[in-house]
């Protein structure tokens, strides 16, 4: 049996398994609350594994290992920024977001943001939802494209055929089971991802000293042979570049502070406070192990292949797996890449569809409330269809440019809104609206004018949004705290 056939068998079994499992979980969905937030009944371990899978995407398996392979030890700052953000989110914010969502009976991310406020809450909800849906629409398209390219790399399938395959697996269980199906499917994908990030570096470390035709016999030797910048924790140390390396890495911290809707919705869906503690512990442990594994894969890739051994740095993890394991094991582990892409795509799709249906379509266009669940499913199908069209027909550079705004524009901006909503009683809906608009506009202008090359918007957007939030709260006086608007 050829290697390619083994890969195909494993991938097909995996994809069919995920589809069947997702539909099985979806069979338990009976109400709109089940569909949008899993009935607010997720066990802690499910919420944590689902959140980590949705949060890491292919970043933990391709992006971060590739970055560690390309730059060496200085990649640690990016890992520190991400890990600190995730730890703070789970330790300080997750249980608060969960409790506030339950208090106000919020079923979507923008519900959580808006229901604390008064007469302007509907406007805030509509604006926040429109921003999220617009950017996440292209984000879903980008994930479909990424899946198509992965199939092309593995099996030389036409990327557009691969894109259709990914969509054909994700859409049925997302449409049928909504958030509940997505969350439980992500659990399986999270387990596959963490398995790779533990097994691959351990096996690579064990085999490296006796391996033949490798660049170096240890990680330290590989870093040393690759050049002085690889061994320096600050990377390039001339002309202030080292400071940019540190700040750019640490800047990832700000986007995790409640500002990613696809992650915060997992906090909102946790069953109770006891399970929130379980989720916190599982989420933090998964993160620490995963990021150590991702860095080690990149650095071990240097030892096996050398700094010029790969044409694409982000292929270091798949290349290492092929080098270390027999084809059938490699095929099983390589499903982690597809798992990562699917876990992000399904999460973004369901967040986008529920925001569109709950915040924009139903309040303004649906008078008969007896078929809300059916309407949500139809909207999910329509959104997935148009995201697939975008993947086929929209210019690829446009899609990835818009996705590039997400972490700073959505993450940095909404993190400020979430933090102010949780911790500042004077903060009001008008201030939240101004903050969202200012953060998004600033990010687009900053990146599109090329200023991102000087200072990353992942830092600046957060502080610009903070300044706008503070000034508008203090200048515009509104008293709408603890108001629940249905």
The pLDDT tens digits for 107-165 are 899 999 888 887 788 899 999 999 999 888 888 888 888 788 777 776 778 888 888 98
pLDDT classification of 240: cutoffs 50, 70, 90: low
Identify which has the larger pLDDT, 308 or 244.
308
pLDDT band per the 50, 70, 90 thresholds, residue 50: very high
Domain presence at residue 182: yes
Can you tell me the mean pLDDT for 93-100?
95
Query: Using an 8 Å Cβ cutoff, are 342 and 147 in contact?
Result: yes
Q: How confident is the model at residue 484 (pLDDT cuts 50, 70, 90)?
A: very low
CATH code assigned at 171: 1.20.1730.10
- Looking at residue 368, its pLDDT comes to 66
Q: What is the pLDDT of residue 241?
A: 57
Could you give the angle at the alpha carbon of 254 between the alpha carbons of 143 and 474, nearest 5°?
125
**Does the pLDDT value for residue 87 go beyond 90?**
yes
Q: Let me know if residue 283 belongs to a domain.
A: yes
Q: Dump pLDDT digits (tens) for 173-191.
A: 888 888 989 999 999 999 9
pLDDT of residue 242: 58
**97-101: which pairs have CB atoms within 8 A and are 24 or more residues apart?**
97/258, 97/264, 97/267, 97/268, 97/418, 97/422, 98/267, 98/268, 98/270, 98/273, 98/276, 99/273, 100/421, 100/422, 101/37, 101/40, 101/267, 101/268
Q: Is there a contact between 184 and 21 (Cβ–Cβ < 8 Å)?
A: yes
- Average pLDDT on 380-406 reads 80
Q: What pLDDT does 480 receive?
A: 58
The reply to whether 390 falls in a domain is yes
pLDDT-derived band at 486, boundaries 50, 70, 90: very low
| pLDDT reported for residue 196 | 92
Residues 322-343, mean pLDDT to the nearest whole number: 85
What is the per-residue pLDDT for 159? 83
With respect to residue 458, please indicate whether it lies within any of the assigned structural domains: no
CA–CA separation, 209 and 186 (whole Å): 36
Q: Is the pLDDT of residue 442 over 70?
A: yes
Classify residue 400: in a domain, yes or no: no
The answer to whether position 243 is within a domain reads yes
Structural domain count of the chain: 1
Full domain range(s) for residue 105: 3-395
Stretch 380-385: mean pLDDT = 90
The two tokens of residue 304 are 């096996």
248-291, pLDDT tens digit by residue? 888 899 989 999 999 999 999 999 999 999 999 999 999 999 99
Q: Cβ of 122: how many Cβ atoms within 10 Å?
A: 16
Query: Which pLDDT value is given to residue 367?
Result: 67
401 domain residue, yes or no: no
Q: State the chain's mean pLDDT as an integer.
A: 87
Q: What is the pTM of this model?
A: 0.90
In a domain, 430, yes or no: no
Give the model's pLDDT for residue 485: 44
């Amino acid at each position: 049996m050829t290697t390619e056939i083994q890969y195909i068998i494993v991938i097909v079994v995996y994809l069919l398994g995920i589809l069947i499992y997702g539909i099985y979980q979806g069979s338990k969905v009976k109400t709109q609350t089940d569909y949008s937030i899993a009935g607010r009944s997720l066990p802690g371990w499910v919420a944590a594994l689902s959140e980590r899978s949705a949060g890491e995407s292919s970043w933990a398996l391709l992006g971060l290992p590739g970055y560690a392979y390309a730059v060496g030890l200085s990649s640690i700052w990016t890992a520190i920024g991400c890990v600190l953000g995730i730890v703070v989110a789970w330790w300080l914010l997750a249980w608060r977001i969960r409790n506030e969502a339950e208090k106000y009976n919020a079923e979507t991310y923008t519900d959580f943001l808006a229901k604390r406020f008064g007469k302007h809450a509907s406007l805030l909800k509509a604006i926040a939802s429109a921003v999220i849906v617009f950017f996440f629409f292209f984000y879903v398209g980008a994930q479909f494209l990424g899946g198509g390219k992965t199939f092309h790399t593995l099996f030389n399938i036409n990327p557009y055929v691969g894109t259709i395959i990914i969509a054909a697996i994700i859409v049925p269980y997302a449409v049928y089971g909504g958030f509940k199906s997505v969350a439980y499917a992500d659990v399986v994908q999270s387990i596959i991802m963490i398995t790779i990030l533990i097994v691959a570096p351990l096996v690579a470390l064990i085999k490296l000293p006796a391996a033949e035709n490798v660049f170096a016999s240890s990680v330290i030797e590989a870093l040393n042979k690759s050049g002085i910048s690889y061994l320096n924790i600050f990377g390039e140390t001339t002309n202030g570049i080292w400071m940019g390396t540190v700040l750019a890495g640490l800047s990832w911290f700000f986007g995790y502070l409640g500002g990613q809707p696809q992650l915060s919705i997992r906090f909102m869906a946790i069953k109770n406070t006891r399970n929130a503690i379980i989720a916190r512990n599982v989420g933090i442990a998964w993160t620490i192990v995963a990021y150590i594994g991702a860095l080690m894969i990149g650095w071990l890739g240097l030892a096996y292949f050398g700094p010029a051994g790969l044409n694409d740095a982000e292929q270091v993890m798949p290349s290492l797996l092929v080098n270390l394991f027999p084809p059938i094991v490699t095929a099983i582990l390589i499903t982690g890449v597809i798992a990562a892409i699917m876990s992000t795509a399904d999460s973004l799709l369901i967040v986008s569809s529920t925001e569109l249906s709950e915040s924009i379509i139903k309040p303004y266009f649906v008078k008969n409330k007896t078929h809300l669940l059916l309407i949500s499913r139809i909207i999910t199908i329509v959104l997935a269809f148009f995201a697939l069209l975008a993947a086929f027909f929209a210019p690829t550079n446009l899609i990835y440019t818009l996705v590039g705004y997400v972490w700073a524009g959505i993450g940095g901006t909404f993190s400020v809104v979430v933090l102010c909503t949780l911790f500042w009683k004077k903060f009001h809906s008008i201030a939240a609206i101004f903050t969202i608009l200012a953060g998004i506009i600033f990010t687009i202008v900053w990146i599109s004018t090329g200023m991102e090359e000087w200072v990353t918007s992942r830092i600046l957007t957060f502080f610009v949004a903070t300044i706008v939030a503070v000034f508008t709260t203090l200048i515009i006086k509104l008293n709408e705290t603890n108001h629940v608007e249905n």
